A = this chain, B = another copy of it.
Amino acid sequence: MAQATPHAQEYLYSKDKDNLLQRMRRIEGQARGIQKMIEEDRYCPEIIQQLTAMARAGKEVSLLLLQDHIEGCVADEIKHNHGGKMIPELIGLIRRVMRT
């Protein structure tokens, strides 16, 4: 993934940047809250419930980024008819998100 990537201005998630950052800060807070629960010897199922809430929140961020990526980079490549490496990469990404 370290290959020459397109210019930053092509990254369309900039419109969602604040939203994405806010979601990630909330996830960071959830990770801290779960540490506190473990320290306090809370009941396993309650902790697992918080972990699944955190996982769902992370998946929403992935989906938002995926949407921005498709509307941005992928659509751009399709319009300009170059190569087409984006779609296999996208499928790989979807597969990875699905696996988690």
Contact = CB atoms under 8 A, between A and B. Distances in A.
B52 A100 contact: yes
Interface in A57-78: 58-59, 61-63, 65-75, 78
Q: Contact size class for A?
A: 35 or more
Given A1-B43, A79-B78, A20 B48 contact: no
State the main secondary structure of chain A at its contact with B: helix
Contacts of A72: 44
19 contacts: A1-B45, A1-B49, A17-B38, A20-B38, A28-B28, A28-B35, A31-B31, A34-B61, A44-B66, A45-B69, A45-B93, A55-B59, A55-B62, A56-B100, A63-B94, A63-B98, A67-B87, A70-B74, A70-B87
